[in-house]
Structures are given as C-alpha cells and as structure tokens.
Copies of this chain bind each other. A is one copy, B any other.
Amino acid sequence: MSVTLKDVAQAARVSVSTASRALTGTGLTSERTQQRLVRIARELGYRPNPIARGLKTGQSRLVALLVHNLTNASFQVMAEVVQARLKALGYQMLLCIGGDDPQQESDTLTTLVDHRIDGLIVVPTGKNGAQLKTLSKDVPIVCLVRRDDATDLETVLADDPQGAYLGTRHLIELGHKRIGLIVGRQDTTSGRERLSGYVRALREAGITRDDALIHAGHFEPETGATFARKLLDLPRPPSAIFVANHEATLGVLRVTAERNIAVPDDLSLLCYEDMPWFEWHRPAISIVDNGARDLANLAVDRLLHRMDARGNSKGNGNDGVREYRVGAKLIQRDSCRQIDGPAPAKPAKSKSSSSKSSAAKSAKV
C-alpha cells in the first residue's frame, strides 16, 4: 500500500538497518549515504509507519486531552491550544469528552492507555483517583483545572481563590453590600475555592456573610435559573450577583430577562470565565477571566517536560512542584454598576480607581 523502509533500502542498495539509522539520525552513518538515503526517501515519498515504530519503541506520538464537554468555552480554547501546540511537535491530540461522568472517565482512561498514549492532560472528575494514580506509573499525566484529591498528580489550576476574591472585591468597591453568589459543587476544588475567595473579600470589607445569598450546586443552566430566582425572591434581594459558575450563566440571564430586570441598572452581574459572545452581549458582560489559554499552555509545558524526563529516564520529571496556579484577571465590561448606596453620591472615586489597577495586573502566584 505505501512505501516502506525496505523499499527505500532496496532502492538505495543498502540494508534496512542502515536506512533506518540514516533516516532517524541515530547511530553512525557516513555523511554520503545519509544524504543519499534522505534524498531517495523523499523521492519515493517514504513516510515512516508510526504503528510499527510504536510497537518497537513503545510510543505512539499520541497525546490525549480529556475534558468534560465542548460547550464550555474554556474547554474549547484549551482544546484548540493543546492541539496547536502538540501538532507543532509532531504529536496528534486525542480529544475525549468525558461528560464529567466518573464511569465514562474511567472507561476512556482505559482505552487511552490501551492505545499507548504518550501523555495525558485530564480534567478529572475527582472520582477516579485510584485509577489515575495507577496509570501515572505508565504514562505522564497532568491534571488541569481541577485537582483530584486522591492523587498527588501535578496539577495546573486557575487561581480560583484569587479570582473570586478579585471579582467580589470589585463588586464591593462599586458599593455593593449584598452580593449573591452562585457557585459550583462544593466537592470540586474550584467550587470550594471560589466560595472561599468570595468569603475572604467579604470579610476584608467587614461585611458579614449571609448564607441566604450563597447557592452552590451542580449546574445546568436550568439550575442557575432556579438559584437566581431564589436570590431575587429574597425579602432583601442582592444588588449584585456573582455567577461564579460557568454553566449557570445562561440561566441567570434568562431570569433577568423574564423579570425585566435591567442589567446593570437594577442588578449588577459578574460572571466567571469568558464566553465569546459576552463582549457582544448587551450589556457586555464583565467577567473574571480564568486564563484558559495560559492554563492550557502551562499544562502542555508541564506534560512535555514530564514526557521528556521519562524519555531520557531522568526520573519522572518532578520538579518538586505539585501545583501550578495561573493568575485570574478581572475584565470590566458593562454589566456592573456603581451603587450610590444609602449615602449620597459617588464617595468611592479613589476606591474605584484602585479597583481598576488591581484588575489590570494579573494575579500571578
């Protein structure tokens, strides 16, 4: 079907081994034959068979990325980044969609290792720690966005405590005192950390935490809508909602539309993680950006580092760091409004500017 190494060797009247060495550049080969073989290989259109090579070397030049879905814009850009980076290095990306379902995750992991992937970047569900731990003996693994607490895998995380803190502080600086929080499940790292950032900002500002303003759970847009309604039905509804859960955003938006609540005039809205349409929306939606692109790039860096280390049997590539944090950034658009508060006009001019400066610098750690 296609040109094999044997064909090239025959055409050049050398043995297969010489051909192999000349083309891979391993071993000693005379300059002359080397060049000749490269030329002949090109003429014949020889392309090495990665399967055969993989059988011998135990590598597949396949790297898998396992994410929950592709609806989440962060996962989209991560997938695009990972694919682009890997391609440049001659790897192919296997993109798998696990649906945040432990069973599916487990199945997929098995298949992937069967296929002898050279590396894996995974957004773990958190329920397959044992399996991941076992696999990590065979394959370099980097966790992304979420930590699996049952493992000690290297993990690239968004700086969620900082992000949530930044967002909440921004709202406080705008004069908001009652800030609703809609946040992810508390059995995920990000869910817990975003809550803690929110709480910290509140505490720093001397605002007492009101649990009626906090809703945490696993999300569909629909659930987001439910929680938004609960918040707005409160005797003293919040003047701002921090939607610190990506999936919930649509639901919240629907509720404001349904009830004819003007954003930001009646209610300020701050969301977490960007979506391509946020800046085109009216009003353009302010967000805390989790830095998806940076996260993906860092994850790839770390994975390559580990793969490299393993290849050279220089240990497992541990650099003593278990956890990398990528700074979050506040992106102000038009969905948050200054509250005049019970007191007279804008008393917070200086504060507001300080908010801006804090927003400008990304929170590197």
Interface residues, chain A, CB within 8 Å of chain B? Answer: 1-2, 47-52, 54-55, 58, 60-62, 69-71, 76, 79-80, 83-84, 87, 92-97, 107-108, 110-112, 114-116, 138, 221, 250-251, 253-254, 257, 275-277, 280-282
Q: Give Cα A2 to B48, complex, Å.
A: 26
User: How far in angstroms is the closest Cβ of chain B from A316?
Assistant: 15
Of B1, B107, B111, B250, which is within 8 A of A276 by CB? B250
Of A71, A79, A115, A221, most B-chain CB atoms within 10 Å: A115
Residues of B near A281 (CB, < 8 A) are 253, 281
Interface contact A92-B115, CB-CB below 8 Å = yes
User: How far in angstroms is the closest Cβ of chain B from A294?
Assistant: 18
**A to B CB contacts below 8 Å, 10 in the list:** A1-B138, A49-B114, A70-B76, A80-B97, A87-B111, A92-B94, A92-B111, A92-B115, A94-B95, A250-B280
Residues of B near A257 (CB, < 8 A) are 280, 282
Residues of B near A250 (CB, < 8 A) are 276-277, 280
Closest 4 CB pairs of A and B: A95-B95, A257-B282, A70-B76, A250-B280
Q: Give Cα A276 to B224, complex, Å.
A: 15
Of A71, A84, A282, most B-chain CB atoms within 10 Å: A282
